[in-house]
Structure 1
Amino acid sequence: MSSSPGPLRPSPLVEQAAERLRAQIAAGHWAVGSKLPGETTLAKELGVGRSTVREALRALAGAGLVQPRQGAGVFVLATEPTDDWPTRLRRAAVTDVYEVRMAVEVQAARLAARRRTPEDVTAMELALAGRRAASLRDDGAFIDADIAFHATVVAAAHNPVLADLFGQFTPVLRQGLLELLTLTGLRTHDPNTADEAHEALVRAVADGDAEAAAAVVRQELEDPFAG
């Protein structure tokens, strides 16, 4: 193994150690399938403590570059990191995100109508009022209020996996919606666009009409300009 370029600068040591190891792996310093040197050796070469090396290796394992094997050591799995879910979403086209949004929210609306509590309905009504109030503000505030409304519907489904999925893709969804509104000027003539659909969704969920709730969301999301 070649000599280290020198001790790392203080803080953030873990990130620097992980980056140094990542660069060495990417350069083929250790072949895929090979075993990394022990923590003590790596710590000496990087000029850090063993705990820092341990955290850096954990980060590399999370990126899919290495894999610890109990009693055997840490082995190289790949030379390039595997994109995690948030990274993949950030790179996704808004149309792709909308297709996932359709699948998540249509099912969430259906489940919400079956599982909603009085508190859920109240939360939806308050979010609808917030969306209407935000219609008097700029596009960013309106989009935030719109997403907050849809989040109350997803929450009413009482399915943590659906809620997590929705939460993961809302940042890229927000950016996509903001770009769409900027390009189309949709709110110029109707600042509170799609208000009737949102009111109908609240009513369908409150009435326990699962298919009506799903249909409202499906119709709304089939046109991404409707938000």
Structure 2
Amino acid sequence: MALGALRPSPLVEQATAHLREQITNGEWAVGTKLPGETALAKSLGVGRSTVREALRALAGAGLVRARQGSGVFVIATTPEEDWSTQLRQAAVTDVYEVRALVEVEAVRLAARRRTDEDLTAVRAALAVRRDAGRGDDAAFVEADIALHEALVTAAHNPVLTGLFAQFVPVLKQGLLDLVELLDLRADDPRHGEEGHAALVDAVERGDAEAAGRALREELDRTLALLHTL
């Protein structure tokens, strides 16, 4: 099957896209053994190493699987959704429930591990959130998320930091919808200030249990409001 030579550019990405199209269009059905690396490389006009990387990407998407001594076979025609895609498509309440599991533990760790530099960053973020109470809803939500990011960073766990970063786009939109639809800041422009101040204070004191409790209470209140939307 001639696939057509590729233009020079990110060749691995192009090769992956071409091979994925053959699979998702049904031209290579589930159970089909793909041509060998040499044949694919010739059809695509690339080197075998490029084909190898493309096949690795397709395997990561759950479309193909290599069988030792037999070759590479199609195992699905629909790629598995990556984590970012799942988050974008999930209900914000579901995201919030998982966020609570992640972030409550993060602030407990932050209370134990925070450095003077971390505390400076967290206090500055709290001050920005307070000042943002005079601004519009978008600026306030941005400042609120920035404070939580500073707290998670203070846990000094790169996996937690990266995981929370994946939540941020969904959280921002969900919080903005919440603030705007329920007009939460009409009577309280700095919505949740007392709880956030208590959270920062607990982290500063090094009280992990108080930090976790303060954040859990804040998140539970927000989640209850999200369920009303």
Which TM-score applies when normalising by structure 2?
Answer: 0.85
Runs of 4+ with deviation above 6 angstroms:
none
Task: Tell me the SS of whatever aligns to 1:67.
Answer: strand
Tell me how far 1:47 sits from its aligned partner.
4.5
Question: What is the aligned partner in structure 1 of residue 80 from structure 2?
Answer: 82
Q: 176, 201, 204: which one pairs with 1:203?
A: 201
Question: Alignment partner of 1:35: what SS?
Answer: coil
Residue 158 to residue 8, structure 1, CA distance change in 2 (3 Å): closer
Out of 59, 62, 87, the position equivalent to 1:61 is 59
Structure 2 Cα separation of the partners of residues 5 and 59 of structure 1 = 18
Q: How high is the sequence identity, in percent, across the aligned residues?
A: 65
CA RMSD in angstroms, aligned pairs only: 2.5
Tell me, which stretches of 5 or more residues in structure 1 are unaligned?
A: none
Q: Paired residue for 1:119?
A: 117
The alignment of Structure 1 onto Structure 2 pairs a total of residues equal to 225
Deviations 1:89-144 (A, max 9, x none): 11111000110111112222222222222222222101101212222222222212
> SS of the counterpart of 2:78?
coil
- Helix, strand or coil for the counterpart of 2:164? helix
Which of 2, 8, 17 is matched with 1:4 structurally? Answer: 2
Which residue pairs with 1:133 in the alignment?
A: 131
SS of the equivalent of 2:185 reads helix
The residue that corresponds to 1:36 in the other structure is: 34
**Alpha-carbon distance in structure 1 between the residues aligned to 2:98 and 2:212:** 15
List runs of 5+ in structure 2 lacking aligned partners: none
> How far 1:61 moved relative to its partner?
2.0
Mapped to 1, the partners of 2:186 and 2:10 lie a distance apart of 47
Matched AA of 1:185: D
Q: Give per-residue Cα distances to partners, 1:167-218, cap 9 Å, x unaligned.
A: 1111111111112222122123322111111111111111122221111111
CA distance in 2, matches of 1:56, 1:5: 14
Moved more, 80-89 or 60-69: 60-69
